[in-house]
């Protein structure tokens, strides 16, 4: 499960950003994962799943050509023999198709995967947010530049409370600190936001999905899932990665990733942070 907030400005001012992206990856702690780096001959930047049978898939990435892809799993029954969803992100980032052409091609095979939302942006072209959702049936949406968000709800347009409230908070952060000369403050505020433990509960939509998959709606697990920062030590699950991606008017990209150390010491959580800087359509990085 993951959480996404994104701001896109097709024509930013000199001191502004074309893209401000904030994401949490929620996953089981023992699942092996590689931190963000350039992959596939430097075609794209992102972390990678190392789970046997799912190697190379990812939940989020940005290509050197300015294509962005994010995978959000839907809280619903999972098929054990389904194809790995992480390949949907990687294949878009390494290919040459537009957002719409790619979604046209994969839509007929969506049922081969467990339920998901796949969100795509092409910063070099229309800058719209394109989404393909699959949960029993497929659904396509397209949103114009501005602030958008996604979560693990069944319907991308009917959010859980934490996403609904989070979108307001994220919008205020972008409004107050979304300039290049405030980058440190912007990143600090986003990281704090992504790790907020406020409980947005009760939440009827979240409870409905918990009930649908046979989980108790009076448990600690549902309350923990209602927070931006998910922490469920009893099942070794929670927010493992914070990602912030900033792209300015000229294609300069800052990719910041904050990763929870595993194995997890629940009494003393430890994190590491890495920052990659590169220019879109360039293989040079630091």
Residue 251 phi, psi (nearest 5): 85, 10
Mean pLDDT of 35-64: 93
| Domain boundaries defined on the chain | 2-279
pLDDT bucket at 217, cuts 50 / 70 / 90 = confident
Mean pLDDT of 137-145: 96
The CATH number of the domain covering residues in 2-279: 3.60.60.10
Average pLDDT over the chain reads 95
For 82, which DSSP code? P
pLDDT of residue 284: 43
Residue 123 has pLDDT above 90, yes or no: yes
* Cβ(48)–Cβ(87) below 8 Å: no
Q: What percent of the chain has pLDDT over 70?
A: 98
- The Cα–Cα gap between 147 and 21 comes to 10
pLDDT of residue 55: 83
Residue 238 has pLDDT above 50, yes or no: yes
Paired with 90 in beta bridges are none
> Distance of alpha carbon 14 from its chain centroid, rounded?
27
Residue 282 has pLDDT above 60, yes or no: no
User: What is the pTM for the complete model shown?
Assistant: 0.96
* 51-71 pLDDT tens trace: 888 888 999 999 999 999 999
Q: What percent of the chain has pLDDT over 90?
A: 92
Give the containing element (helix H, strand E) for 122: strand 116-122
- The Cα–Cα gap between 216 and 219 comes to 6
């Amino acid at each position: 499960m993951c959480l996404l907030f994104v701001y896109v400005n097709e024509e930013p001012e000199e001191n502004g950003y074309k893209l401000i992206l904030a994401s949490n990856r929620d996953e089981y702690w023992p699942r092996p994962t590689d931190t963000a780096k350039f992959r596939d001959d430097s075609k794209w930047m992102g972390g990678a799943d190392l789970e046997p049978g799912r190697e190379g898939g990812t939940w989020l990435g940005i290509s050197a050509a300015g294509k962005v892809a994010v995978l959000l799993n839907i809280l619903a029954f999972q098929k054990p023999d389904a194809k790995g969803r992480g390949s949907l992100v990687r294949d878009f980032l390494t290919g040459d198709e537009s957002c719409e052409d790619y979604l046209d091609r994969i839509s007929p095979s969506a049922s081969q995967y467990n339920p998901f939302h796949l969100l795509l942006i092409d910063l070099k072209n229309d800058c719209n947010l394109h989404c393909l959702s699959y949960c029993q049936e497929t659904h396509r949406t397209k949103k114009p530049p501005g602030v958008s968000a996604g979560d693990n709800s069944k319907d991308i347009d009917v959010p859980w409370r934490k996403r609904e409230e989070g979108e307001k908070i994220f919008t205020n952060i972008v409004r107050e600190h979304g300039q290049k000369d405030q980058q440190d403050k912007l990143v600090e505020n986003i990281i704090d936001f992504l790790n907020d433990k406020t409980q947005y509960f009760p939440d009827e939509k979240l409870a409905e999905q918990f009930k649908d998959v046979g989980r108790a709606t009076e448990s600690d697990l549902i309350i923990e899932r209602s927070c931006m920062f998910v922490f469920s030590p009893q099942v070794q699950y929670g927010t493992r990665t914070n990602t912030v991606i900033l792209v300015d008017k000229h294609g300069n990209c800052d990719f910041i990733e904050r990763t929870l150390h595993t194995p997890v010491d629940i009494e003393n959580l430890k994190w590491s942070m890495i920052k990659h800087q590169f220019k879109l359509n360039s293989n040079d990085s630091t």
